[in-house]
Amino acid sequence: MAGLKLSLKMEFRRWASNLLTALFLAAATVFLLLYPGFIQRAEAELDAAYSAIDVSGWFISAVGYEDPEIPLAFYDVLEDSGFIQNSNAVSYVSMAPLSSAVENLRNTDENFAALTLAEQYAKIKTKPIINLALSTGDRLYGLNHADADARFSHLLDTVEWLDGYSADMFAGSEAVCVYPVDAGVALGDEVELIVRRANPRDIWSDVKREYMTFKVVGLHGMRANASPHYVYCPLSAMREAFSDPSWCFSLRSFSFTLKDSRTLNGFKQFLVELGLHENEAVRVSIDDRILTGTISPLQKNAALLRGLHPFFYGIVALMGFFLCFLTTRRRGREYGIMRMLGESGRSVAVKSVVEQVLLCCFGLLLGITTMLLIPGKQSDWMNPAAVALIMGCYCLGAFFAMLFTVRVNITSLLQGKE
């Protein structure tokens, strides 16, 4: 291009204003190359917060303060949903060991199955009530793991296990149980229990009663003479035993932790889809206060950083416009002289563009050189796309500025006016 060499010499000698532009570009380069790291750091903080803070939830009764009756369908759906982990599921039924009097009555009276509790009591009324399984405090607990029930988890260290068995037995579905110590049974014994589902309207009559046999594989430290008695079996075994729909078997306690706290909103939506937000019997309570309180400012910070990212490139374009406008505006006389000497307007404009592009390259180089002095891995920040975008934004702003400044009135120049 004609006259480019001398034009570039003039540009080079304009070092003061060019230095300002170059320093701005260098600073912008350093900032914008580091900026993605700020976003990553904010997102990492957010991720760390999500990872560190658990969200737990549990079922509650929708109608009162008693233990809820949680349909198994909810348990199964939530377990399979992929949202939750470390669930604690417990169910229980009233039970009692089969007493000899009741056993005798069962073996001798062919109508025994049709007898109500009151009739059984009447027939063997000399026996203690507890032997008739009338005590609703005695319970058979079904747990999905040893820590599902707080009471049993405290007893766990006292449990003597049958060889080949451990607390892992709760994960299975074998009809085994952990019995109170000093109850007159030994490890490995089979016990027959009367389990009943009470009629809530009449404690003397049952909805259903059944005799169930369990193998004793553990003896826990709560003594048999303490009241009430608690026997613990795997939840799956209990489910299998009460699989007949007439039992109306349900969970009495179900709590869980979200696998990934990030899925909280999705999980809440899932619960709504299950109808748990308006279920007449049960609801789900979620403790997300700590998460919400911690995450909210971090989310806002990360969102702000992400949102501002394109804005800063806009600033570069704007500064490109203003810096170029201010520096080239003062060169109106120079452009006029070039035109007066016979240079075309297009040539003047193209030269100006070339000068700005070279100036931009110098500024970028200065910025990248500065970055090299900052300790750390270059691969962490070196982003050719960002460098190209900075250059593009600056040149775009400069180009628009030049549309205003490169045009000159040569006649005014001739008359000594600018």
Partner 1 sequence: MSILQANDVHYTYKSKYQAVHAVQGISYAFEEGRLYAIIGKSGCGKTTFLSLLAGLDLPSEGNVAFNGTFTSHLNRDQYRREHVALICQSFNLFPLLTVLENVMYPMELRGIKGKAAKEIAVKKLDAVGLGESYHKRLPAMLSGGEQQRVAIARALASDARVLLADEPTGNLDTENGENILSILERMAHEQGYCVIVVTHDLGIASRADRVLHLRDGKIVDKH
Examine residue 411 and tell whether it contacts partner 1 (CB under 8 A): yes
CB 406 → partner 1: shortest distance, Å? 14
Residues 235-274 that bind partner 1 (CB under 8 A): none
Of these, 339, 364, 366, 367, which contacts partner 1 (CB under 8 A)? 339
Of these, 107, 126, 379, 415, which contacts partner 1 (CB under 8 A)? 415
CB 13 → partner 1: shortest distance, Å? 4
Q: What are phi and psi of 283, to 5 degrees?
A: -135, 170
Q: Encoding tokens for residue 223?
A: 């003594």
Examine residue 413 and tell whether it contacts partner 1 (CB under 8 A): yes
The 3-class secondary structure across the chain, one letter per residue, is CCCHHHHHHHHHHCHHHHHHHHHHHHHHHHHHHHHHHHHHHHHHHHHHHHHHCCCEEEEEECCCCCCCCEEHHHHHHHHHHCCEEEEEEEEEEEEEECCHHHHHHHHHCCCHHHCCHHHHHHHCCCCCHHHHCCCCCCEEEEECCCCCCHHHHHHHHHCEECCCCCHHHHHCCCCEEEEECCCCCCCCCEEEEEEEEEECCEEEEEEEEEEEEEEEEEEECCCCCCCCCEEEEEHHHHHHHCCCHHHCCEECEEEEEECCHHHHHHHHHHHHHCCCCCCCCEEEEEECHHHHHHHHHHHHHHHHHHHHHHHHHHHHHHHHHHHHHHHHHCCHHHHHHHHHCCCCHHHHHHHHHHHHHHHHHHHHHHHHHHHHHCCCCHHHHCCHHHHHHHHHHHHHHHHHHHHHHCCCCHHHHHCCCC
CB 4 → partner 1: shortest distance, Å? 8
CB 18 → partner 1: shortest distance, Å? 11
Segment contacting partner 1 by CB under 8 A, of 96-104, 122-130, 188-196, 328-336: 328-336
Of these, 175, 187, 337, 354, which contacts partner 1 (CB under 8 A)? 337
Examine residue 330 and tell whether it contacts partner 1 (CB under 8 A): no
Residues 10-49 that bind partner 1 (CB under 8 A): 10, 13-14
CA pseudo-torsion sign 170, 172, 173, 177? negative
Segment contacting partner 1 by CB under 8 A, of 312-320, 331-339, 357-365, 393-401: 331-339
Site string for partner 1, 118-157 (x = CB under 8 A): ----------------------------------------
Comparing CB distances to partner 1, the nearer of 13 and 201 is 13
Distance, CA of 390 to chain centre: 36
Site string for partner 1, 341-380 (x = CB under 8 A): xxxxx-----------------------------------
Of these, 39, 53, 290, 410, which contacts partner 1 (CB under 8 A)? 410
Comparing CB distances to partner 1, the nearer of 51 and 411 is 411
CB 407 → partner 1: shortest distance, Å? 14
Segment contacting partner 1 by CB under 8 A, of 151-159, 200-208, 286-294, 330-338: 330-338
Comparing CB distances to partner 1, the nearer of 16 and 113 is 16
Examine residue 2 and tell whether it contacts partner 1 (CB under 8 A): yes
Binding site for partner 1 (CB under 8 A): 2-3, 5-6, 9-10, 13-14, 333-334, 336-337, 339-345, 410-411, 413-416
